Amino acid sequence: LGSSLRGTMDSLRGKSRIDEDDVQEVVKQIQRSLLSADVDVDLVMELSDSIKTRALEEEPPGGTTARDHVLKIVYEEMVDLIGESTEIPLEEQTIMLAGLQGSGKTTTAAKMAWWFSKKGLRPAVIQTDTFRPGAYDQAKQMSENAEVEFYGDPDNDDPVDIAREGLEATADADVRIVDTAGRHALEDDLIEEIEQIDDAVDPDRSLLVLDAAIGQGAKEQARQFEESIGIDGVVITKLDGTAKGGGALTAVNETGSSIAFLGAGETVQDIERFEPNGFISRLLGMGDLKQLSERVERAMEETQEEDDWDPEDMMEGEFTLKDMRNQMKAMDRMGPLDQVLDMIPGMGGGIMDQLPDDAMDVTQERMRSFEIAMDSMTEEELENPAVIKSDRLERIARGSGVPKERIEELLEQHSMMKRTMDQFGNMGDGDMQRMMKK
């Protein structure tokens, strides 16, 4: 599905204005991607409306294609919907975790404790789950794995009691993470229990832990937990599976909160702070939109400084060593070429697969020695590397201190890139050209 969104975006390439049909098509594809990622229908509709309105009303800024303009709007509107990550200050605090059984609370408690310990704070996990057999052992073991303090009491069956005692026992810790029990479904006794723990603990923030596979069930859960204890943020777990976690957006919307952490694995290190860009790219099944636009912008700014180099020539005429040197410099600014191409929606896999594997394999170290060797070449040699025969090779090697074999590699690399650039040239007015030119 992501690929059809890519396809649609690609069909906008070269257009400077976008008409109503184009917008409809883009919005339709986005709707498909989001619905298949479990994003709530109402949210998808809301988002579609704002994207439609903006795409048709706003003029693309000068020099921006319709496609880039629409991508930017989509990205901005999604950031708007999803929000920035929940603020988690690195200071003394008590955090309570809530959620249904199996959502990943206990795992998340240990993961978060590990995360805080890496930030230089002293965390402790307090296990109050007396409902699930083995909950104590599981939490204790995971806390050991995370090398953090743990409190639990397998002989006590009163979770509120355990919570109170746990706070006292871990008074020296900076961050107390209170793990709670869940049930298979929301039941009155669960709500009552967590309300009582909430009263006893008086947490600085309460996080709702949701399995990425949660679909429409997220709404009711989020509403209930919000009503009973108040939710300040959401943790989405099991993102290492196939589920994209779109259902969690419903919970974010319902609780008026944001996403705090993402869990993607069973070990304590498999946690990261939420970051909108990666999550959005994943939901849409597209490349890294934010990074793409930032890199393109940076490349555009800096390439303007290269007054004696017109990438148009490179695309159309002979690909010379000079072009190669300029291209290596451009790559240095933007990152490896294959990564740059991967980030352009619609240009990832397909094109790269058609190239020889090592066509783009210019490592930093090789690149440095290539540049040094080129500094010892004459204008004639740079413009027409075919003239470089053995005597010239000797001279360049002596002058630059770069081994002859390395210079031969450089020449081989050049002819391989030349073939590659010929292929790009054949693609017509492609992204590569636009990127290098502006």
Feature table: binding site for GTP: 99-106, 179-183, 237-240
- How far CA 109 is from CA of 89, 96, 145, 251, in Å, comes to 17, 9, 12, 20
For the bound state, the minimum distance from the C-beta of residue 175 to ligand GDP, rounded and expressed in Å, comes to 18
Contact between 69 and ligand GDP per CB under 6 A: no
Q: Which residues of 258-281 are buried (b: 16+ CB within 10 A; e: fewer)?
A: bbbbbbeeeebebbeebebbebbb
Q: What is the rounded distance in angstroms from the CA atom of residue 55 to the CA atom of residue 51?
A: 6
- How far CA 57 is from CA of 28, 46, 47, 80, in Å, comes to 18, 17, 15, 18
Query: Binds 266, which of Mg ion, ligand GDP, none (CB < 5 to 8 A, cut-off by type)?
Result: ligand GDP
Contact between 266 and ligand GDP per CB under 6 A: yes
Q: Which residues in 244-283 contact Mg ion (CB under 5 A)? A: none
Q: What number of helices (H) and strands (E) belong to the chain?
A: 21, 8
Contact between 106 and ligand GDP per CB under 6 A: yes
3-class state of residue 231 by DSSP: coil
3-class state of residue 130 by DSSP: coil
For the bound state, the minimum distance from the C-beta of residue 230 to ligand GDP, rounded and expressed in Å, comes to 19
Count of other CB atoms within 10 angstroms of residue 239: 21
The one-letter amino acid at 158: D
**Which residues does 412 contact at the CB level (< 8 Å), separation at least 6?**
none
Tell me the window of 15-23, 257-265, 313-321, 414-422 that interacts with ligand GDP (CB under 6 A). Answer: 257-265
Query: Binds 107, which of Mg ion, ligand GDP, none (CB < 5 to 8 A, cut-off by type)?
Result: ligand GDP
User: DSSP secondary-structure letter at 204?
Assistant: S
Contact between 311 and ligand GDP per CB under 6 A: no
| Strand order from edge to edge, sheet including 175-179 | 149-151, 123-127, 175-179, 93-98, 205-211, 233-237, 259-263, 271-273
Contact between 105 and ligand GDP per CB under 6 A: yes
3-class state of residue 242 by DSSP: coil
Smaller CB separation from Mg ion, 141 or 196? 141
Contact between 127 and Mg ion per CB under 5 A: no
For the bound state, the minimum distance from the C-beta of residue 240 to ligand GDP, rounded and expressed in Å, comes to 5
Smaller CB separation from Mg ion, 112 or 360? 112
Q: Can you read off the two tokens belonging to residue 113?
A: 């404790």
For the bound state, the minimum distance from the C-beta of residue 267 to ligand GDP, rounded and expressed in Å, comes to 9
Contact between 106 and Mg ion per CB under 5 A: yes
Q: What is the rounded distance in angstroms from the CA atom of residue 180 to the CA atom of residue 289?
A: 37
- Cβ 280 vs Cβ 82: under 8 Å: yes
Number of residues that bind ligand GDP (CB under 6 A): 18
Smaller CB separation from ligand GDP, 106 or 255? 106
For the bound state, the minimum distance from the C-beta of residue 179 to Mg ion, rounded and expressed in Å, comes to 6
Binding-site annotation: residue ranges: 99-106, 179-183, 237-240
- Strand 259-263 with 271-273, pairing: antiparallel
Contact between 228 and Mg ion per CB under 5 A: no
For the bound state, the minimum distance from the C-beta of residue 290 to ligand GDP, rounded and expressed in Å, comes to 24
Q: DSSP letter string over 278-324?
A: HHHHHHHT---HHHHHHHHHHHHHHHTT-TT--HHHHHHS---HHHH
For the bound state, the minimum distance from the C-beta of residue 248 to ligand GDP, rounded and expressed in Å, comes to 13
Q: Between the CA atoms of 417, 422, 423 and 428, what dihedral angle is there, to the nearest 10 degrees?
A: 130
Smaller CB separation from Mg ion, 191 or 393? 191
Contact track, ligand GDP, 15-54, x by CB under 6 A: ----------------------------------------
Q: What is the rounded distance in angstroms from the CA atom of residue 123 to the CA atom of residue 178?
A: 11
Contact between 130 and Mg ion per CB under 5 A: no
| Contacting residue, 237, 257, 281, 413, with ligand GDP by CB under 6 A | 237
Contact between 143 and Mg ion per CB under 5 A: no
Tell me the window of 42-50, 222-230, 263-271, 401-409 that interacts with ligand GDP (CB under 6 A). Answer: 263-271
For the bound state, the minimum distance from the C-beta of residue 139 to ligand GDP, rounded and expressed in Å, comes to 8
Residues that bind Mg ion (CB under 5 A): 105-106
Residues that bind ligand GDP (CB under 6 A): 99, 101-107, 182, 209, 237-238, 240, 263-266, 270
